[in-house]
Amino acid sequence: MLTALKQPTGDIVIAAMENKRKLLVLYATETGNAQDVAERIAREAERRYYAPVLQSTASYEPSALPSEENVIIVASTCGQGDPPAAMKVFWRQLLRKSLGQDWLEGMHYAVFGLGDSGYQKYNLVAKKLDRRLSDLGAKPIVPKGLGDDQHRSGYEAALDPWLANLWTALRERIALPYGLQDPDNNDMSSTQLDCPKFSVKFHNSASASQMESLTIADIDATRAVQEKWVDYQKARVMLESAAGDAPTSMEPEVPGYGPDQPMFAKMTANKRLTAEDHSQNVRHLEFDLGPNGVKYHPGDILTLIPRQNPDDVEAFLQRLSLDGDSYVTVEASQSELTCSWNDPQLLQLGPVKLRTLVEGVLDVSSASPRRYFFEVMSHFAAAEHEKERLQYFATSEGRDDLYQYNQRERRSVLEVLLDFPSVQLPLEWVLQIVPRLKPRSFSIASSQRAHPQQAHLTMAVVEWMTPFKRKRHGLCSTWLAQLDPSVGEVYVPVWITRGALKLPPPSVPLILVGPGTGCAPFRSFVEDRNILSQTEPVAPILFFFGCRNQAKDYLYKDFWQSCTTDHKVMSPDSGGGLHVAFSRDQGQKVYVQHKIRENRKLVWRLLQSGAAIFISGSANKMPAQVTSAFEEIIASEAGISREAAIRWLKQMELKGRFSVEAWS
């Protein structure tokens, strides 16, 4: 429960406490944005004399929904219309056919979605959730809200007016206790500060240092990497438990491996694929998974948590006058914040070093802080001009300016703190408002049939220029690119997760579209089919690849071309083919969708023989333009309308024969 510091007093408060109406706030998050929105809703609900209950869809039992009166759900959409991992079980329960049309009769709900209109299936999860709740008999409090990352103010451009409407509609349903007054919508952040949800205890360094590292048995990796990971995981579990959150990996997709117990994979190769003078540094990474028996499939994903720059961690600690060598334990500041999953053994691991907690759990050098970060900072600013600016950023009026300053520039937590030197945040608030260090995922670019104990990655080192001409670097890709297995053993904790792209049976022809690093999962597809073709018949593969220059960024050129000869899977005489679009090698730009149209007859022939289409790459414009090219070919070759062609592709998608994996 959230407790506001500024409340009425006396008999009015007592009456308000006794008449608080429960408000269930659920969130389904992948990157933390949906949780941040849900926490804001809960804070504002508490200030309006409701009794909010904040919970992740991962830990909420859907069968309890019929007993709820008022429910608010915040859900993000991942990739091409997928729900977050934390929502998958919840969603499956809602889709049960046994649920009747009056199952949720009496429940009132509101849905806010977080998405990116650059994706074809923008905010699909929120749209489907809203429709499903209505179909089950629930009544909407307000129409669904759809936040868009593409908006110049981000998702908060839609959130602010949606929340204002929500509070108005709720108050019409639930009367305010006599003698009380709701706060003004425009004054929710400037005068109140909630109690922090964490309590921090410092320990004597001499006694605590003996407790930090645990012993790990039966893991074939260097002791230093093992113990460092265990220390990070201890800190992560401690913070999750204190926050009342479900653990990061309750149900690992590959049994036995997850963030709590990764594989310690040995990096055996790290080489540049693009020309040295090319603007983008794309690398090929190889990892030895060891004799642990882990199995992955073409289309699966390798996941890891990156390491932060130690200099940034040290600068963060110094900026906040924190002793990184001190030891702390973190607990919930209120006793009712408990979680049913908590394992007493995990919660008795003992103190952790503060530097370990910052380095392994808090993202201080890459994630941009959210609006609440600035709101909290305003309460600890000693300089009046800084306080005024922070208060302005925390208001609806300052939303656009905050977006320009913060999100568009991708300012890190460390950078923001350095911009406001008079702010001295207590550690309890630091742990609450600094974004968590998130896992990064990469499509596996190899087949286990071809490389039994290995996993390969194709990774572009992320670099970009901000609107204010500041050069930025991706945290994970920069860290991985700098690892050099030629000068010493390099181990990286990794785990396998199931990907969205599923390789069909060998008898199904494939049409693959993968420009740039989007080719990574298709290298695994082609490798797998090549090995199978040595012992059994396989259907042909038609591959469309795209890059800027043939001489500079034609990734895996030799491999692709080797698969087009001697009746191999992409050879024209087998019914397949390789078609490459070099966008900058001629005056007029040529992209993969142009090559698809040029080969419409071959595309149509494979579609008629039951081919599956897979698209992988940047989510900016490519997936929509490639999809449009296929719609055009189907319409013209089949002699049907464009609308009918769209329905054709939709049916293919429902049958698992049209799949898109895209990222921004």
Look up residue 605 and give its two tokens.
């022939």
Beta carbons within 8 Å of 364's beta carbon, 6+ residues apart: 308, 312, 313, 316, 358, 412, 413, 414, 434
Mean pLDDT of 269-281: 97
Domain, as residue range, for 627: 510-663
Looking at the structure of the chain, the number of domains it has is 4
Residues in binding site for FAD: 410, 440-443, 474-477, 663
Over residues 505-533, the pLDDT tens digits come to: 999 999 999 999 999 999 999 999 999 99
**Is 476 among the domain residues?**
no
Note the pLDDT of residue 246: 52
Residues in binding site for FMN: 29-34, 76-79, 149
Task: Please answer whether residues 326 and 302 qualify as being in contact, where contact means their C-beta atoms are separated by less than 8 angstroms.
Answer: no
pTM: 0.88
The CATH number of whichever domain residue 77 belongs to comes to 3.40.50.360
Q: Mean pLDDT in the chain?
A: 88
Q: Phi first, then psi: give them for residue 378, nearest 5 degrees.
A: -60, -25
**E strand or H helix at 418:** helix 413-419
Handedness of CA 567, 568, 569, 572 (dihedral sign): negative
Q: Which long-range contacts (CB under 8 A, 24 or more apart) does 447-451 make?
A: 447/298, 447/524, 447/525, 447/527, 447/528, 447/531, 448/295, 448/296, 448/297, 449/527, 449/528, 449/531, 449/532, 450/527, 450/528, 450/530, 450/531, 451/527
Residues in binding site: 29-34, 76-79, 149, 410, 440-443, 474-477, 517, 583-584, 589-593, 663
Note the pLDDT of residue 3: 37
Note the pLDDT of residue 19: 64
First to last CA, the chain: 36
Over residues 561-598, the pLDDT tens digits come to: 999 998 899 999 999 999 999 999 998 999 999 999 99
User: Pairing between strand 263-272 and 282-288?
Assistant: antiparallel
**Is 650 among the domain residues?**
yes
**Is 366 among the domain residues?**
no
**Is 468 among the domain residues?**
no
Whether residues 131 and 108 share a domain: the answer is yes
Whether residues 305 and 284 share a domain: the answer is yes
| Closest listed residue to residue 627, CA positions, set 593, 576, 594 | 593
Over residues 393-406, the pLDDT tens digits come to: 998 889 889 989 99
The residue out of 361, 382, 399 marking a domain boundary is: 361
Whether residues 271 and 383 share a domain: the answer is no
Whether residues 581 and 656 share a domain: the answer is yes
**Is 232 among the domain residues?**
yes
Q: How far apart are CA 21 and CA 18, in angstroms?
A: 9
What is the number of alpha carbons within 13 Å of residue 166 lying toward its C-beta?
Answer: 26
Instruction: Name the β-bridge partners of 82.
Output: 78
Whether residues 204 and 168 share a domain: the answer is no
The residue out of 341, 361, 381 marking a domain boundary is: 361
Beta carbons within 8 Å of 654's beta carbon, 6+ residues apart: none
Handedness of CA 350, 353, 354, 356 (dihedral sign): negative
| Closest listed residue to residue 604, CA positions, set 582, 565, 575 | 575
Whether residues 381 and 262 share a domain: the answer is no
Whether residues 342 and 384 share a domain: the answer is no
Residues in binding site for NADP(+): 517, 583-584, 589-593
Whether residues 349 and 406 share a domain: the answer is no
Lowest mean pLDDT among 103-107, 347-351, 439-443: 347-351
Whether residues 325 and 381 share a domain: the answer is no
Note the pLDDT of residue 256: 59
**Is 380 among the domain residues?**
yes
Q: How far apart are CA 442 and CA 457, in angstroms?
A: 7
What is the number of alpha carbons within 13 Å of residue 567 lying toward its C-beta?
Answer: 4
The residue out of 332, 361, 390 marking a domain boundary is: 361
Whether residues 407 and 331 share a domain: the answer is no
**Is 473 among the domain residues?**
no
Task: Please answer whether residues 83 and 29 qualify as being in contact, where contact means their C-beta atoms are separated by less than 8 angstroms.
Answer: no
Whether residues 177 and 210 share a domain: the answer is no
Residue 194 per-residue DSSP state: B
Whether residues 213 and 340 share a domain: the answer is yes
Note the pLDDT of residue 120: 76
The CATH number of whichever domain residue 401 belongs to comes to 1.20.990.10
**Is 221 among the domain residues?**
yes
Handedness of CA 397, 401, 402, 407 (dihedral sign): positive
Note the pLDDT of residue 332: 85
The CATH number of whichever domain residue 561 belongs to comes to 3.40.50.80
